[in-house]
Amino acid sequence: MTTLTQSVARPRATTAPQRVRRGLSGKVASAVAIVIAVLWTTPTFGLLLSSLRPEDQIKSTGWWTFFSDPQLTLENYQQVLFGTSSSSGQMASFLINSIVITIPSVLLPLALATFAAYALAWLPFRGREWIYIGIFALQIVPLQMALVPLLSFFSQGVDVFGVHILPAWDLEGPGRFVQVWFAHTCFALPLGIFLIHNFMSELPGELMEAARVDGATHGAILRKLVLPLVGPALATFGIFQFLWVWNDLLVALIFAGGTAETAPMTVRLAQMAGTKGNEWQRLTSGAFVSVVIPLAVFLSMQRYFVRGLLTGSVKG
C-alpha cells in the first residue's frame, strides 16, 4: 500500500496526459484512488474469506476476525456443491445446468450472426441497408417485452385466427434447455450482427473480389478468408455473450424453470437468497462457485474484451 502511494505521488518523467492527472494529483488524489480501489475489492474479498470459514464462525463473527483467529475449511463448498438434501444447495447440479445452457447459447448466435453479418456486409442485394437498420433498431426492444409472448409460443404453439399453425413444444425435463438456447439466441442476434458487421465491413474489399475472380464460393470465402480475419470481433462478442448468458437471471427464471433439472446457478442463488437469507455459509460459498468461472474467463480474455469494447463504443 505504501509503495502504491509513493509511486502515485512521486512526479516522474512526464508526458502530456500525465500532467492532466497530476493536475488533480498530490497526496489527496492518490488517497482517493486507493480508497476507491479498496472499496471495490473488499466486498468480494470478504465473500471469499467468509465462504472458507466454519459455519458457526460465519454466523457469529465478521470475516475480519479471521485475521486474529484464522480458521479455514472447505466444508461449506463440500456441502453446497455436493449435498443432496434439498436445502443444501445442490450447486453441482446447477453448475452443470449453467454449462449446458451456456455453450449452445454462445455458439449458435455467434455462427448465425456471422453469417448474417457477412451477407449484410459483402453481398450486394437490394434492400440490405434497410434490413441492417431494422436489425440494429431491434436493440430497442427490451427483453421484458418479448417474454410473455415467447413463453406462450413455446407452451401453446402458434394460432392465427383460430387455426393451429405450429404445435406447442411441450418440452419437459432436459428438453427445456432447448427453450433457453432458443431465447438466448434470439435476444443476442441484434447486438451480435451489429458488432460483427461493423468489424467485417472494414475488411478490404479487393481481397474478396480477388477470391471471387479465382472462383471461390461465398462459403469458401467465409471459411478461409473472413473467419480468420474477424477473429477479434468474434472473441469480443463471444465473451460478451458468455458473460451475459452465464450471469443471466431473467431469461433462465422464465424459460428454464426453477429445479435442479434445468435451472442455472443464478436461479438457485436467487432462491437461496430469498428463502435461506441467513444460511450465510451456503450463500457465500454458492455465490463464489458461481463467480469463479466467469472471473477466470474474464481475466484470461480481458484484453480482447476491452479492445472490442473500445472499438464498439468510443470510436462509435
Pick from 80, 81, 196, 234 the residue near another protein by CB under 8 A. Answer: 81
> CA of 41: how far to CAs of 34, 65, 163, in Å?
11, 18, 58
Site membership for another protein, residue 160 (CB under 8 A): no
Residue 191, interface with another protein (CB under 8 A)? no
| Candidate residues 66, 169, 212, 259; the one interacting with another protein per rule CB under 8 A | 212
Q: Which of 41, 71, 87, 155 binds another protein (CB under 8 A)?
A: 41
H or E segment and range at residue 27: helix 27-51
Which stretch, 10-18, 66-74, 201-209, 229-237, contacts another protein (CB under 8 A)?
A: 10-18
Provide the b/e sequence for 21-55 (b: ≥16 CB within 10 Å): eeeebeeeebeebeeeeeeeeeeeeebbbbbbbee
40 binds another protein per the rule CB under 8 A: yes
Q: Considering the rule CB under 8 A, would residue 287 count as an interface residue with another protein?
A: yes
304 touches another protein (CB under 8 A): no
> What is the distance between the alpha carbons of residues 256 and 262, in angstroms, rounded to a whole number?
6
Using an 8 Å Cβ cutoff, are 59 and 79 in contact? no
Minimal distance in Å, beta carbon 148 to another protein?
5
Question: Based on C-alpha coordinates, what's the Rg of the chain?
Answer: 25
Q: Is 149 in the site for another protein (CB under 8 A)?
A: yes
Which of 80, 97, 104, 86 is closest to 263 using CA atoms? 97
Chosen residue from 27, 36, 71, 74 binding another protein by CB under 8 A: 36
CB closer to another protein out of 60 and 206: 60
> Footprint of another protein on residues 50-79 (CB under 8 A)?
50, 58-65, 78
- Residue 33 binds to another protein (criterion: CB under 8 A): yes
Does 163 bind another protein (CB under 8 A)? Our answer is no
**44/46 Cα distance (integer angstroms):** 5
* Residues shown for the chain: 316
Q: Is 148 in the site for another protein (CB under 8 A)?
A: yes
d(CA 73, CA 66): 12
Residue 94 touches another protein, criterion: CB under 8 A: no
Only segment of 37-45, 66-74, 202-210, 229-237 that touches another protein (CB under 8 A): 37-45
